Amino acid sequence: DAKTTQPPSMDCAEGRAANLPCNHSTISGNEYVYWYRQIHSQGPQYIIHGLKNNETNEMASLIITEDRKSSTLILPHATLRDTAVYYCIVRLKMDSNYQLIWGAGTKLIIKP
Amino acid sequence: DTEVTQTPKHLVMGMTNKKSLKCEQHMGHRAMYWYKQKAKKPPELMFVYSYEKLSINESVPSRFSPECPNSSLLNLHLHALQPEDSALYLCASSQLAGLAKNIQYFGAGTRLSVL
């Protein structure tokens, strides 16, 4: 199974870019990388996903290395509301279903 | 609207009780999921329903019994639970379980305490 490795915690100053790394060295060619975050006492919230190319949406950017063994989630201008646990996830196909294989998560604390 | 609604938000039950958790979505999604999340851990998949049929059971004990009465509703029936079953139970839905791009939308969860 492809697995992800994330730092357990990170700090970032408010207004600065938050860069969250993730290693997924055993990922297969057709497995997507997803990022979700979970704010305290809430359900996980989808952020972004990608396969090979870099991706950007209104929440974040996802940079995937050419060998696909690692990726970085970028929150361009972090606010206090971005304080959350960020999960790097690999999506595997198992039988006819796709399942999310969750990493342990990075607790991101945005400081004023 | 990307809302998944779970009720109740909190539940305390004894080991001999029978209770049910409910989940509802109105996004037209045909795949629904139950996850269990212990403190400071990522969610763990329990069940997947695809077109109202159970497609994945991750070796969950029989004291947890899922039910999908229609495409918008998902229930989790609880009976004879143990204290170690105390956790946050999350429901999610997605368009289809077998799609290459499969964004799951999560509810806020039910925080369950078993005494």
pLDDT tens digits, B105-114: 999 999 999 9
A57 neighbors B18 (Cβ within 8 angstroms): no
| Pairs of residues, one from chain A and one from chain B, whose beta carbons lie less than 8 Å apart | 55
Whether the per-residue pLDDT at B1 is higher than 70: the answer is no
Q: CA of A78, closest CA in chain B: separation in Å?
A: 23
B42/A102 CB distance under 8 A: yes
Query: Pick from B70, B64, B85, B63: which is nearest to B32 by CA?
Result: B70
Q: CA of B84, closest CA in chain A: separation in Å?
A: 19
Give the pLDDT mean for B81-93: 96
First CA to last CA distance, chain A: 39
**Partner-chain residue, chosen from B50, B100, B106, that has the shortest CB–CB distance to A43:** B106
Q: List B75's β-bridge partners, or say none.
A: B22, B67
**Partner-chain residue, chosen from A42, A97, A103, that has the shortest CB–CB distance to B42:** A103
Q: CA of A14, closest CA in chain B: separation in Å?
A: 24
Query: What pLDDT score was predicted for residue B96?
Result: 78
pLDDT band at B36 (very low <50, low <70, confident <90, very high): very high
**Partner-chain residue, chosen from A43, A46, A95, that has the shortest CB–CB distance to B109:** A43
Mutate to test the interface with B, among A36, A96, A98, A102 (most CBs of B within 10 A): A98
Query: Pick from A87, A84, A77, A81: which is nearest to A22 by CA?
Result: A87
Report the chain A residue with the minimal C-alpha distance to residue B99: A98
pLDDT band at A57 (very low <50, low <70, confident <90, very high): very high
B99/A98 CB distance under 8 A: yes
A43/B56 CB distance under 8 A: no
Tokens describing residue B39? 């403190």
Give the pLDDT mean for B24-28: 94
Whether the per-residue pLDDT at B88 is higher than 80: the answer is yes
Q: What is the largest CA-CA distance in chain A?
A: 47
